[in-house]
Amino acid sequence: MFLNSVIQLLNCLTEATVSAAVLQHINNTVHFYLCFPKHTRQLLKKAINLWCTGEETVRVVAFLVLNKICRYKKEQINPVLKKMYISYVQNAKFTSPNALPLINFMQRTLTEMYSMDVENSYQHIFIYIRQLAIHLRTAMTVQKKGSYQSVYNWQYIHCLYLWCRVLSTLHPSDILEPLIYPLVQVITGCIRLVPTARYFPLRMHCIRALTLLSESTGVFIPVLPFILEIFQLVNFNKRPGRISVKPINFAVILKLSNVNLQEKVFRDGLIDQIYDLALEYVHTQAHSIGFPELVLPFIIQLKGFLKDCKVSNYCKPMRQLLEKIQENSSYITNKRQKCAFGVSDREAVIKWEKQIKEEGTPLSKYYVTWKKLREKEIQMEISGKERMEDLNLPEIKRRKLEKKEEDKKEFKDLFESDSDSESGGGGLFTKGKSKSKSKDDSSDESSDLSSEGEEGEYEVEDDDSSDSDGDSQDEDEEEGGESEAHKKKIQKKKGPQRLSQADLKELAKGEEDIVQDLEFSDDE
């Protein structure tokens, strides 16, 4: 009852942290579940579902549960492998930068599950590779529009890459080695099915899978012809029909639209992909004793491309790639001239190649430094960030802010002198009453204070004012009387101001009304 209740609880949970905690508890009590076949089947079904659809932590713990069950009970390996592969195919239908890490996780964990029992794994891998070959044969023989869609989709490509990863990880294995050849034939047939520029991204995924398989197993696979064919299908001298700022992310697409083929970023990205794919492949063969003969067609084609291409941005990376390959070719040629064994001595050749690989070649040393930089760029692309260094945007130069200490001291002195003049005269307004006013306005505002109350008009008067100012005020009063012009009249005064005794008495009577009607005049 307890085991059944735990499984029911796991089915009801939606929070990832709680699900991970319950799965961790189940992982510690797996040996109890193995005593009940019905509960084991229910647990396997739920764990496989969480392994392919849950959050990151939940996926990991669910895989640990599956792995532990299969290690304790070997008869569960076949059904578990079958259900895990079907779940992998179902959840690899769509690919995006966010989905790629999850797909890679399923590939790695499935590879580990297949390594538990190689004999049973052979049966599974053989059946599923044969199924892929049947789909390819049907697409090649059936003359219908869109028949290739059963092959040119993400599920098919991810399955090809899965089996390349499995055979590469489990190598060397005498049981699985016969499956390498049919898998390579299926992948090369997939490339040749629709050899057009529109499906270059799919071709590149297949090339990477073949490169991984060739590097790990040591089997020679002619990958360079598929890379060189791109030069023949694309005219890099043709002026682009339109310009797009956003680069094409070849890692998450299988085909290009007609609009993409006309854009400049298509050719820019294609040159980068050719550089990456060629460097990754020749790096795997850099220690081979036949490296100079292997890369000779590639060198000839690159020289022809550099001769015909008129775009300097495309010639620069290809010229650099050509120099690195020629340097490594010369290095291998000089090394093998000192050899004392013949070509037929297979053991001596393998020993020589192993020694050269340990010493390191010029191409392998360059590849290590290049790979670190390239991984950073790929991480930026996966996270959705654009490579802004290719846009050649103008720099915004900001003017450095001047030191503010001297300015603060100057303005501080100005405000202090103003406040002292106000407070020294014993006026109505003291320091701090008008914080937002400048030095020039502070003296004016203290003299411009006016208000229209019910009893009359209040103006700031100066006891030390000259007679001429008083005469001018009398003239203004006679001319304007009590008009509105007279009410808004402003007097500029020097030094401290204060109200007369009569006005102070009036202010004391109607203090509340004055506070409500008191305003600062902005006129000078």
Q: How would you write 5-71 as a 3-class SS string?
A: HHHHHHHHCCCHHHHHHHHHHHHHCHHHHCCCHHHHHHHHHHHHHHHHHCCHHHHHHHHHHHHHHHH
Residue type, 460: V
pLDDT at 329: 93
As a whole number, mean pLDDT of residues 333-344 equals 86
CA–CA distance, 64 with 69 (Å, rounded to integer) = 9
pLDDT at 499: 55
CA–CA distance, 276 with 369 (Å, rounded to integer) = 13
**Run of H or E residues at 195:** none
Share of the chain above pLDDT 90, in %: 39
Exposed/middle/buried for 347, CB within 10 Å: 0-12, 13-18, 19+? exposed
How far apart, in Å, are the Cα atoms of 421 and each of 446, 464, 494? Answer: 11, 14, 10
21-68 residue pLDDT tens: 999 999 998 889 889 989 999 999 999 999 998 888 999 999 999 999
* Number of other CB atoms surrounding residue 263 within 10 Å: 21
pLDDT at 345: 85
494 compared with 114, residue with greater pLDDT: 114
Report phi then psi at 41, rounded to 5: -65, -40
pLDDT category at 214 given cuts 50, 70, 90 is very high
Q: What is the CA radius of gyration of the chain?
A: 42
Report phi then psi at 490, rounded to 5: -120, 135
Distant-in-sequence, close-in-space partners of 156: CB < 8 Å, separation ≥ 6: 132, 135, 150, 190
Q: 170-184, 384-398, 454-468 — which is least confidently predicted?
A: 454-468
96-154 residue pLDDT tens: 888 888 999 999 999 999 999 898 899 999 999 999 999 999 999 987 777 888 899 99
* Number of other CB atoms surrounding residue 161 within 10 Å: 21
Residue type, 358: E
**Phi/psi zone of residue 456: left (φ > 0), alpha (ψ -120 to 50 degrees), beta?**
left
Report phi then psi at 424, rounded to 5: -65, -30
pLDDT at 60: 93
Q: Are 171 and 244 in contact (CB under 8 A)?
A: no
Structure tokens at 438: 């400048």
Q: Are 184 and 217 in contact (CB under 8 A)?
A: no
pLDDT category at 398 given cuts 50, 70, 90 is low
143 compared with 393, residue with greater pLDDT: 143
Look at residue 422 and give its three-state secondary structure. helix
* Number of other CB atoms surrounding residue 36 within 10 Å: 13
pLDDT category at 505 given cuts 50, 70, 90 is low
**Phi/psi zone of residue 426: left (φ > 0), alpha (ψ -120 to 50 degrees), beta?**
left
**Run of H or E residues at 318:** helix 312-336
Residue type, 104: N
For the CA atoms of 182, 201, 379, 264, the dihedral, rounded to the nearest 10 degrees, stands at 160
Q: Is the pLDDT of residue 179 over 80?
A: yes
Q: 9-18, 56-65, 80-89 — which is least confidently predicted?
A: 9-18
Q: Any idea what the Cα angle at residue 173 is, between residues 170 and 179, rounded to 5°?
A: 85
Distant-in-sequence, close-in-space partners of 309: CB < 8 Å, separation ≥ 6: 236, 237, 315, 318
Q: Is the pLDDT of residue 519 over 50?
A: no
Q: Is the pLDDT of residue 290 over 80?
A: yes
> What crossing angle do the helices spanning 56-72 and 16-28 adopt, rounded to 10°?
20
Q: Is the pLDDT of residue 172 over 50?
A: yes
Q: Is the pLDDT of residue 482 over 80?
A: no
Measure CA 27 to chain center: 35
Q: Is the pLDDT of residue 455 over 50?
A: no
pLDDT at 426: 41
